Amino acid sequence: MRLINFVPAFLFLNRKFLKQYFTTKIIIKAFVSAFLISNFIFLAIFDYEILNFISPFLTILGIHLLINTDRIGFFLTGFFVGILWFYWIGFSFIYYEMTYMIPIVIISVGIVYGFIFLIASFPSFVFLRAVMIFLISYIHPFGFNWFNLEATLVLGVFEPSTKGLICIFLSAYFLRFNKFYKLLFLIPLIFAVQIDTKKPNFLPFDIQLVQTNIPQDKKWDKRYKNDFINENLKLINSAIRDNKKLIIMPENAFATFMNFEKELILELKKLSKNITIVAGALSYENRQAHNSTYIFDDGKMRKIDKYVLVPFGEEIPLPNFMRDFINKNFFNGASDFKPAGDVSDYEIGGVLVRNAICYEATTDKIYKNNPKIIIAITNNAWFKTKNINSTEPVLQHLLLKYYATKYGTTIYHSVNGSKSEIIIPKKGI
């Protein structure tokens, strides 16, 4: 009887709690703050100089609103930031025939970042909260490092670096002062401006940088395998006729385990007498699958395996029993990919380049020893549907621009499902 009486009382108190702390005003303020912090992703779509210039100032305002909100506001802002940055992660479940997982994944990602932001709300002083938010931007759940506040400064005139981000946070903090003292927010911005430009490096010969738009639901369909192979061979022959010295093709351009394709390998070796071919494909050795780059040059073949795997995409960063359960129930019993032991370089025409496949091009590990040139290959078809193009390629581009600026690296990026491009360090004023 006591339990029966307790239930409505519990529900009443719960409703009272929700009304008190999750009001429309708090939710709207948190969303506005989150959108301002995330604005660079959406303004980058338009690529207008005026919007690029405004972007970091909107970020400052978003941080200002965040650090001056209450604890629930911190959680909700983190929740919305997680969704605005990473809602597209759930799209990949379409291709595992688990469309029902999309809202679950989106909400789960939001909750994870909500709790990360909540950690920063525990200090009482606003300045310490600003410090905590700055620090948590370097926390990478399960090794996934795409939440990078330094990258918010890729647009505009400020330096996308730790120094630049510190200045942005100081500016956001000074906005809380009254009257004349509010103008102090301008002082840190003077020191945040990027002055220098790192000189880009380019490959000294003609290149064919391939972009394809093969839908993910067709890419691994065996009925289309030969069609895609023949199309790739046409692209290579066309590049040869155009006197190109190198053709760069996307991740899994050849949607097969290349080391089992003897005839295809012979054909590509033959073509490589006239052009160097860099293309993605899978490989299978010693009962382990690898995501690989294949380089065909002067009749020879070299295979380089991916070094940094995608968390929950190519590896499950959890204890074995949890990993096996997830692989069995969500990924049709597939095993994790096997990573390479270290970064890999190779020469093309006497020039040393660093290999990168998709996600690893957006990690510090791949920039070991500051490579001058990276050839990166990507498949972004995972994160788009027949009707929706997500912002994943935009965020990826901004992160690549950030790393190119940080390490003075030029990135040749060949993509399936979005724009292929050459990315150079950001220019200073």
57, 96, 207 from 44: Cα distances, Å: 14, 30, 27
pLDDT for residue 185 is more than 80:
yes
DSSP assignment string, 278-309: EEEEEEEETTEEEEEEEEEETTEEEEEE-SSP
pLDDT tens readout for residues 263-282: 999 999 999 999 999 999 99
pLDDT surpasses 50 at 10: no
Name beta bridge partners: 208.
247
pLDDT for 11: 42
Instruction: For the chain, report the end-to-end CA distance as a whole number of angstroms.
Output: 74
pLDDT for 4: 47
Tokens (6 digits) for 33: 């703050």
Q: What are the backbone angles phi and psi of residue 384, rounded to the nearest 5°?
A: -140, 155
- Is the CB of residue 414 less than 8 Å from the CB of residue 249? yes
What would the two tokens of residue 408 be?
């003075």
Q: Once rounded to an integer, what is the mean pLDDT over residues 291-312?
A: 96
| pLDDT above 90 for 164 | yes
Residue 326 has a pLDDT of 66
The mean pLDDT value for 212-231 works out to: 95
- Is pLDDT of 71 > 50? yes
- The answer to whether residues 200 and 237 touch, using CB atoms and an 8 Å cutoff, is no
What value does the mean pLDDT take over residues 305-309? 96
pLDDT > 80? residue 143: yes
Q: Is the pLDDT of residue 324 over 80?
A: no
Query: Rounded to whole angstroms, how far apart are CA atoms 339 and 143?
Result: 15
Q: Which pLDDT score, from 0 to 100, does residue 399 have?
A: 98
The band of 20, judged by pLDDT with boundaries at 50, 70 and 90, is low
**Lowest mean per-residue pLDDT among 135-149, 204-218, 294-308, 334-348:** 334-348
CB 189 within 8 A of CB 170: no
- Range 361-376 average pLDDT: 97
Task: Return the pLDDT at 18.
Answer: 57
For 27, residues 6+ apart whose C-beta sits below 8 A from its C-beta are 76
- The reported pLDDT for the residue numbered 287 is 86
**Once rounded to an integer, what is the mean pLDDT over residues 146-159?**
98
Over 50: is that where the pLDDT of 127 sits?
yes
Calculate mean pLDDT across residues 379-390: 89
Residue type, 334: A
Catalytic residues: 251, 306, 358
- What does the mean pLDDT of the chain come to? 92
Four-residue CA torsion sign, 312, 315, 317, 321? positive
Question: Residue 25: is its pLDDT beyond 80?
Answer: yes
Q: Average pLDDT for residues 217-245, to the nearest whole number? A: 96
- Please tell me the predicted confidence (pLDDT) of residue 178: 87
Sign of the alpha-carbon torsion through 297, 302, 305, 307: negative
pLDDT value at residue 387:
79
**CB-CB contact of 366 with 76 (8 Å):** no
Q: Which domains occur in the chain, in start order?
A: 15-192 (no CATH), 207-423 (3.60.110.10)
Helix (H) or strand (E) segment spanning residue 191: helix 186-192
pLDDT tier for residue 334 given thresholds of 50, 70 and 90? low
What is d(CA 303, CA 278) in angstroms, rounded to the nearest whole number? Answer: 10
Q: Residue 15's pLDDT is what?
A: 61
When pLDDT is cut at 50, 70 and 90, the band that residue 158 belongs to is very high
Per residue in 233-254, pLDDT (tens digit) is 999 999 999 999 999 999 999 9
